[in-house]
Amino acid sequence: MATQNLTHILEFYFMEFSGDPELQPFLFGLFLSMYLVTVLMILLIILAISSDSHLHTPMYFFLSSLSLADIFFISTTVSKMIVNIQTHNRVISYVGCLTQMSLFAIFACMDDMLLTVMAFDHFMAICHPLHYSVIMNPPFCGLLVLTSFLVSLLDSQLHNLTILQFTNFKDVEVSNCFCDPSELLNLLCSDNFSKNIVKYFVGTMFGIFSISGIFFSYYKIISFILKIPSSGGKFKAFSTCGSHLSVCLFYGTGFGVYLGSAVSHSPRKGAVASVMYTVVTPC
């Protein structure tokens, strides 16, 4: 199957986490509980922020936007994964796979962009507190979120246009539990150079730019905090950055799967890493 060029694909098949039937109920319960807990906690965060006027600030506005994106992000992948485990069905239609890939790309990139925006917001709040309320006004904050969505939509369309240009696939077996963009690119009957160009271009355009922005913001923040004379002030400033440590987990596993598949391809390791940034990080 892997050596043939398949045209007019009607459906794809996901990889199983485990072929052991006795392990399926455990995996179903694990993913279902993590999904429900994540969605419930996110809804509580959004409810708490919307109901408390003291939390109507740019930081919590971006947090609400990130939480909302996370609901769609985890629902796009995990909900289908749970149904597949329960029904013992690994099939997804061609249209369904492209739809899942598009939604996944939108909300994954949305998380990426919003984390960058939140790092910039932190930078302005700590390093330029006197100008913070003037610069981070509601229209500008709304514009940042809208721009993040439009950039994410562009990322999704780039993947869609790339895959739709090819009608031949090497296989119908997706080496993951959802339609990951990098996995679909691997299945295209195209030379590796062309596929790697797409991966590295998109990864650099949407990933490295965001990571550079985050690192620069936190470099300036840390440099500013170290100049604070009181230890209490340093601790207070550092404590506001603690929640962003999950950025390392999100970016490390996400880009490891996306860009790493262009160098070497290990389906099992890729699936485990995908679970880390699609299930564990939002949770």
Digit-coded pLDDT (tens) for 167-200: 677 777 877 778 888 777 777 766 565 666 666 6
Q: Residue 20, class by beta-carbon neighbours within 10 Å (0-12 exposed, 13-18 middle, 19+ buried)?
A: exposed
How far apart, in whole angstroms, are the C-alpha atoms of residue 277 and residue 160?
22
**Domain boundaries 11-280, corresponding CATH code:** 1.20.1070.10
pLDDT, tens digit (0-9, with 9 covering 90-100), for 73-125: 888 888 888 888 888 788 888 888 888 888 988 998 888 888 889 889 988 98
Whole-angstrom Cα distance, residue 36 to residue 191?
41
Of the chain, the percentage scoring pLDDT greater than 90 comes to 13
pLDDT digits (tens, 9 = 90+) for 126-144: 888 888 989 999 999 999 9
Question: Residue 195 and residue 192: Cα distance in Å, rounded?
Answer: 5
Does the global pTM surpass 0.95?
A: no
